[in-house]
Amino acid sequence: MPNVVTIVTGPIVGLKSSWFLKDTVDFAAQLGKEIVVYNLIDEILEQADRKPKNAYEHAIEVGELLDGYQYLFELLRKNAYLSIARKIDKLPKSTNVIVRTHATIEWRGINIEFKDHRTIAEVLQPDRIITLIDAEWKIMEHLKSDYGQHVLRVVAQQKELSLERILRWLACEVSRSEDWAEWATHVNDKDVRHYVLGIETPSLNDRKVYVRDVDNMMKFATEKVLPTFYASYSMTVATDQVRKDINDMIWRLRHFGVVIDPASIEIEQNIESDEEAAVFAYTVCRDLRWDVQKVDIVAAFHPYTEMPPMSTGMLDELGHARAFGTERYLVMPSGAGSPFTRDNYVPANHLYKDGDSFFNFIEKKRRPTLKPRFADSTEKFGEWQEQATARKKD
């Protein structure tokens, strides 16, 4: 078996996930790590000797699979997983594997869920399962493109998807993927964890510019032991200097593991009033249930020397982290004297006046200690971002 096997789920259209995974493979190679990607649909078509010439023909093939008998499609998926497993067995042990598949697909107004949990657990024996997501409005923009419209027509057999429908599709992908991870955990007697990863993240030098988060994906795909963090901070009230301080701490946190940044899902500034309730509910569900509940550590940053108080979002995230039993830390230079902060939201020795004290604790005093073993990949990610943003400008 290879080093790490990762199942990657997410909507079949709207993410540009093929490009994202290709970028991840290339980024890993720069760090001397090999990742091989298999695609379930491609494997099905290969076994049937179907050779679509382009992405448009590929989408037509997917539509025909969905239009056929469901039991036949299930059998084709099972055989494809078995074929991928045989290919994986021939790989060197140092190789890492990503299997790109789909937990659900929109079809004729119905969300078809694929109950492939047993085959995935027994045949692929994954180490973790990742669901890729993006901001719902960005997905909608992709669906409005010529290719997006084509996929909607021949696969989903819909003219359009509302924001609420897109949010439900994302939620179904996450829910079914969670089931797969839980089943794999019990079948293989090892902890197969599920995470939700935003496909983009704010760049180092300008948080208004978004780039593909190949750093986090590379870590997920290559590391058996991997600390995971959620960065909690106020997103509604912040000066430019505070934003920079927070960004620097988030960036430094990447030295220690995967960092889930809530800003990776860029908020639409002009939400229609009839869609606002669904988007807000989804945001709360994502941050609390998909992120805070799944990570190892919640690191909250409120680096104000003068008030304002913490935002309601930060308070809710720390409160839920406490309820979930998640390890939590708070950097708060001012206003931490409340009895409802110390030994309530965070343990007394997990409350710090500055970021250096926090990082010193997790590196030297926490048990077990966490080392900045991803400093090189973080630095390389910074260089990769500069190249990516330069290409965007061109």
Most confidently modeled range among 158-167, 202-211, 307-316, 365-374: 365-374
Mean pLDDT of the chain: 92
For 330, the enclosing helix (H) or strand (E) is strand 327-331
Q: Which pLDDT does position 60 carry in this prediction? A: 94
Question: What superfamily does domain 1-222 belong to in CATH?
Answer: P-loop containing nucleotide triphosphate hydrolases (3.40.50.300)
**pLDDT at residue 341 in the model:** 77
User: What distance in Å separates the CA atoms of residue 288 and residue 316, rounded to the nearest whole number?
Assistant: 8
Q: How confident is the model at residue 265 (pLDDT cuts 50, 70, 90)?
A: very high
- Single out the residue of 301, 265, 31, 315 nearest to residue 133, CA to CA: 265
Residue 335: what pLDDT? 66
Give me the residue spans of the domains in the chain. 1-222, 228-369
pLDDT value at position 318? Answer: 93
Could you read off the pLDDT of 78-113 as tens digits, one per residue? 999 999 999 999 999 999 999 999 999 999 888 999
Instruction: Report, as an integer, the average pLDDT of 196-209.
Output: 92
The DSSP line for 180-231 is HHHHHHHHHTS--EEEEEESEEE-SS-TTSEEE-HHHHHHHHH-SS--EEEE
Q: Does 129 score more than 80 pLDDT?
A: yes
C-alpha 97/C-alpha 178 separation (Å) is 19
- Is the CATH code 3.40.1260.10 the one for domain 228-369? no
Mean pLDDT of the 251-271 span? 90
Residue 311 is predicted with a pLDDT of: 83
Indicate the DSSP class of residue 327.
E
Of 275 and 7, which is predicted with more confidence?
7
pLDDT above 70 for 280: yes
Report the alpha-carbon distance of residue 380 to residue 251 in Å, rounded: 12
**311-360 pLDDT per residue, tens:** 888 889 999 999 999 999 999 987 666 667 777 788 888 999 999 999 99
* Fold agreement (1-222, 228-369): yes
Strand order in the sheet with 35-39: 35-39, 96-100, 5-9, 128-133, 193-198
pLDDT score of 297 = 98
Tokens of 299: 């690191």
How far apart are the C-alpha atoms of 282 and 284, rounded to whole Å?
Answer: 5
Q: Look at residue 205 and tell me whether its pLDDT is greater than 90.
A: no
* Model confidence at 252: pLDDT above 90: yes
CA 392/CA 47 separation, integer angstroms: 38
Say whether pLDDT at 215 is over 70. yes
d(CA 148, CA 130): 23
Q: Where are the beta strands (DSSP E) in 213-276?
A: 228-232, 258-260
pLDDT-derived band of residue 11, with 50, 70 and 90 as boundaries? very high
DSSP 126-158: -SEEEEEE--HHHHHHHHTSHHHHHHIIIII--
**How many angstroms separate the CA atoms of 230 and 262, rounded?**
8
Q: Is the pLDDT reported for residue 301 higher than 90?
A: yes
Higher pLDDT, 240 or 77: 77
